Amino acid sequence: MTRFLCIWVVLLGGLLSVLSGFSAAAGAKHADCLWYTQPAAKWTEALPIGNGRMGAMVFGGTASERIQFNEDTLWTGQPHDYARPDAATHLAEIRRLINAGKAKEAEQLVRSSFLSVPLRQKAYQPFGDLRLVFPGHEKATDYRRALDLGSAVARVSYRVDGVTFQREVFASYPARAIVVRISADQKQAVTLSLKLDSPHKNSQTRAIAADVLALSGLVQEDGLRFEAQLRVQATGGRVVVDGSGVSVEQADAVTFELVAATSFKNFQDITADPAARCAVDLGRLKGRDYASLLKEHIADHQSLFGRVSLDLGRTAQADLPTDKRVAQLKAGGLDSDPALASLYFEYGRYLLIASSRPGSQPANLQGIWNEELNPPWESKWTTNINVEMNYWPVEVANLSECHGPLFDLIEDVAISGARTAKSQYGCGGWVLHHNTDLWRGTAPINNIDGVWPTGGAWLCQHLWEHYLFTGDKEFLARRAYPLLKGSSQFFVEYLVKDAKTGWLVTSPSFSPEQGGLCNGPTMDNQLVRSLFNDTIEAAGILGVDREFVAQLEKVRAQLPPNQIGQHGQLQEWLEDVDKPDNNHRHMSPLWALYPGADITPADAKLFSAAKTLLKWRGDGSTGWSFAWRIPLWARVADGEFAYRQLNLLLTKRTLPNLFDLCGPFQIDGNFGATAGIAEMLLQSHVRIDAATTQIEFLPALPKAWPDGLAKGLCARGGFEIDLTWRGGVLVNAVVRSKLGQPCVLKYGVHEIKLQAKKGESYEFDGRVVSKTKKHE
């Protein structure tokens, strides 16, 4: 019987680790499962699956199962330009007031005349629910449910009256469908009824074929229309599909295929026919059997997930159900369960694959999972930390393709952001403030803290990072550079002289979510400098735009430098007004330390000032604020404090299904911590020169992880790396070069330059490169 595969993997893993005395080989497999001995009592206990475009939460009830699903283009609203038409006419006055020290008056004027229309953006919507009822299954025994991260299949199994039932649910990217399989170890045992419904009031179901049930509806008048279609295939037994749902009696097994679509074509056009889209998707699946769908799905998922693995050691805690492990952290902390840290890392990779695949929307505040009509912060894309954090692990964790949806979004906001640049500021190029939604809103929203014009500049860093990791010149020329140039163009026209210092600054602006309106907060200066650096370098590589480059260089020289204040701290603002021990959740002025790369030990004074600010900030509060502190502390080589933040995140801000909590569920912390763990083990942000990357091994290894193994992590310059360490010391690093670029390998004080050849592998023991061999 194939019952509950991952338990066997766990047992086998434990056995192997005992036999080998070292958990590396077995632990990696063991780490790939979330499992429970009871169904989810609420949404935040259910298990997420996703194919980038469709997501679902599987509750795993026995007598009644709920599978709540989403499709990533179902939002409130319709195509809309949020920019305030006459905003630019107030810009000079707002700037004058800020320069005159009258920030409060400037804020009043911003509130009355400068914010978006309407003030708030639109919300991501739940789509529907599959509700299955299994008569007589109230009293089940031997209950197990699990999410196997390696195969991306959610499984439920239990026994009723001597029969073992099994459910498997997965979201297939190649099949563009969610597939549900219900089977039993005895013939004719599967009897159930199913309803398909939606929280959208006007939705309705109808039978559109003997084996297909459809659900259709409308989010709002003039808004998005949606349709889901569900096909049922039973082996044996009787199936009836009518307008009210599906009933199956005495089948051996049943497979449901669920497809879903909306009328969304792009952010300016919602004229697609969702029913026709569903028919195409379902049509493609006709004649496919369950085994072939499952096989194709696992192969697709493994092609991404299988690239990386992480083992940080394991204890007996790792044999417990996942919710118990999370609960036990309160007593023992993460030290008692190092395998939970690696599971969290693997889960981050899993969640990214599930919520961001080529062609989908990018992962939003909740990834792709949402059950609420009014989700927190509309479950949209917040650009002053959250959406970027979602994509921090993508390159280092070898999921480069999953970056695609974010690049698609940047291309969209460059279009809507060009309109905003004109209407808000009378400038060319494009601008994005602190949020965007399905309609690619780019104007400042909500309140004065929405007046933060560097969201687009931050997103541009992702384009450049993708190039640094992949060396893809075609991507640089065709996609990245035009966007970098457009964003730079905006700042060249928009930056204005600060009355006191004479520097060219953003104005009006805001240091994310604290202070008031101001000129040139440190984070903005860092973002604009980094944007200009990247644009200039990209133009050089591509051999284009000499004059524009000269102009950027001239403006760059007039940007405010990072300043060190009276307490030895990196200043958050142009003026030295920081309050010691301000432990705000946002780490904005530390952007250049991480995810930026401009603050490094090369400038010892600045590096130390950044560290002072980092210390002031102390521990995190929201999930993502713990998560941001992990790579920051890793960048200052303090593995213990980085680990402390991870420990607190898992102990205080983690749900039973390992979803991160901001206040409510918010997925950024999952992704930020995944990137943070990688940053503790491997760093490659320091560039010796334009062609040479420094790759540093175990820069911030905490005592709690003395032995470990990380496979398949990526470094800038096109390197893939496997690491083994014992007793806190690097044993071996295998470095595979995909591009043939030189690098410096660094471990502690030892550095060695390597003229890597494309396609070659090198082994490094912390001091010398000992041998080379060919790799595929």
- Kindly list the residues in this chain that would bind ligand FUC in the complex (CB under 6 A): 365, 377, 382, 386, 513, 622, 624, 662, 666
- Whether the CB-CB separation of 365 and 379 falls below 8 Å is answered with yes
Residue of 363, 370, 365 lying closest to 402 (CA atoms): 363
Chain residue whose CB lies nearest ligand FUC: 377
Q: How many CB atoms lie within 10 A of CB 491?
A: 28
- The CB-of-456 to ligand FUC minimum distance in angstroms stands at 17
- The CB-of-663 to ligand FUC minimum distance in angstroms stands at 7
Which of residues 377 and 490 has its CB atom nearest to ligand FUC in the complex?
Answer: 377
Q: Is 132 helix (H, G, I), strand (E, B) or coil?
A: strand
Cα distance between residue 623 and residue 740, in whole Å: 39
Instruction: Give the ranges where 399-449 is alpha helix by DSSP (H).
Output: 404-425
The amino acid occupying position 144 is R
- The CB-of-435 to ligand FUC minimum distance in angstroms stands at 8
Which of residues 198 and 386 has its CB atom nearest to ligand FUC in the complex?
Answer: 386
Which of residues 665 and 719 has its CB atom nearest to ligand FUC in the complex?
Answer: 665
- The CB-of-365 to ligand FUC minimum distance in angstroms stands at 6
Cα distance between residue 428 and residue 419, in whole Å: 9
Residue of 594, 598, 597 lying closest to 617 (CA atoms): 594
| The pair of three-digit structure tokens given for residue 163, joined into one six-digit string | 């029969």
Cα distance between residue 463 and residue 479, in whole Å: 8
CB-based contacts of 497: which residues, under 8 Å, 6+ apart?
A: 503, 504, 505
| The pair of three-digit structure tokens given for residue 409, joined into one six-digit string | 């979004």
DSSP conformational letter for 479: I
Which of residues 256 and 573 has its CB atom nearest to ligand FUC in the complex?
Answer: 573
- The CB-of-234 to ligand FUC minimum distance in angstroms stands at 44
Which of residues 362 and 766 has its CB atom nearest to ligand FUC in the complex?
Answer: 362
Pairing of strands 743-747, 692-697: parallel
Cα distance between residue 689 and residue 657, in whole Å: 44
- The CB-of-366 to ligand FUC minimum distance in angstroms stands at 10
Instruction: Find tokens 């410096």 and name the residue.
Output: 744
Which of residues 23 and 511 has its CB atom nearest to ligand FUC in the complex?
Answer: 511
Which of residues 61 and 450 has its CB atom nearest to ligand FUC in the complex?
Answer: 450
Which of residues 47 and 448 has its CB atom nearest to ligand FUC in the complex?
Answer: 448
Which of residues 568 and 663 has its CB atom nearest to ligand FUC in the complex?
Answer: 663
- Whether the CB-CB separation of 14 and 323 falls below 8 Å is answered with no
Which of residues 203 and 386 has its CB atom nearest to ligand FUC in the complex?
Answer: 386
Which of residues 131 and 434 has its CB atom nearest to ligand FUC in the complex?
Answer: 434
The H or E element spanning position 625 is helix 623-635
What single string gives the DSSP state of each residue in 637-663? T-HHHHHHHHHHHHHHSB-TT--BBSS
Which of residues 205 and 509 has its CB atom nearest to ligand FUC in the complex?
Answer: 509
- The CB-of-379 to ligand FUC minimum distance in angstroms stands at 9
- The CB-of-270 to ligand FUC minimum distance in angstroms stands at 25
- Write the CA distances from 506 to 417, 529, 554, integer angstroms: 16, 12, 16
- The CB-of-79 to ligand FUC minimum distance in angstroms stands at 24
- The CB-of-621 to ligand FUC minimum distance in angstroms stands at 9
- The CB-of-404 to ligand FUC minimum distance in angstroms stands at 23
Q: Is 266 helix (H, G, I), strand (E, B) or coil?
A: strand
Cα distance between residue 547 and residue 736, in whole Å: 39
The secondary structure of 45-57, three-state, reads HCEEEECCCEEEE
Cα distance between residue 300 and residue 209, in whole Å: 30
- The CB-of-154 to ligand FUC minimum distance in angstroms stands at 27
The angle that helices 481-494 and 546-556 make with each other, rounded to 10 degrees, is 50
- The three-point CA angle 328-334-337 to 5° equals 75
